Amino acid sequence: AQSVSQHNHHVILSEAASLELGCNYSYGGTVNLFWYVQYPGQHLQLLLKYFSGDPLVKGIKGFEAEFIKSKFSFNLRKPSVQWSDTAEYFCAVKGDNDMRFGAGTRLTVKP
């Protein structure tokens, strides 16, 4: 079965700082990869997804993620964060069966 690791539990940044959140997975087969965001008090929403093709995926709100197959990684990036990006971010991997979520990374952006 697949598993997902998110390295950072809580990241604190100032506005305009660059962001990179790590995500590694363990699964030998073909995977689809997702990043979900959960704003305070809200439900999970899809930020971006990778199925195939260009390993650099652009998502909403200026986010992007890069799939590096050799490293089993799918890190999330944003060049310049805003206060409104304060949220919890979940990496998810879908293999043959169900989707597995990472533990989440809480991002706090200071104004």
Partner 1 sequence: DARVTQTPRHKVTEMGQEVTMRCQPILGHNTVFWYRQTMMQGLELLAYFRNRAPLDDSGMPKDRFSAEMPDATLATLKIQPSEPRDSAVYFCASGLAGIYNEQFFGPGTRLTVL
Tally of residues, the chain: 111
Binder of partner 1 out of 49, 62, 64, 86 (CB under 8 A): 49
Q: Are strands 44-50 and 24-26 parallel, antiparallel or unpaired?
A: unpaired
Among the listed ranges 16-24, 58-66, 75-83, 96-104, the one in contact with partner 1 (CB under 8 A) is 96-104
CA distance 80 to 16: 4
Number of residues that bind partner 1 (CB under 8 A): 23
Q: Are strands 99-101 and 64-68 parallel, antiparallel or unpaired?
A: unpaired
Give whichever of 7 and 17 is closer to partner 1, judged by the CB atom: 7
Do residues 65 and 50 lie in contact, with contact meaning Cβ atoms separated by under 8 Å?
yes
CA distance 11 to 107: 5
Q: Does 60 bind partner 1 (CB under 8 A)?
A: no
CB of 32 to partner 1, least distance (A): 6
Q: Does 108 bind partner 1 (CB under 8 A)?
A: no
Binder of partner 1 out of 44, 64, 66, 86 (CB under 8 A): 44
Do residues 69 and 1 lie in contact, with contact meaning Cβ atoms separated by under 8 Å?
no
Point out which residues bind partner 1 (CB under 8 A): 30, 32, 34, 36, 42-46, 49, 51, 90, 94-104
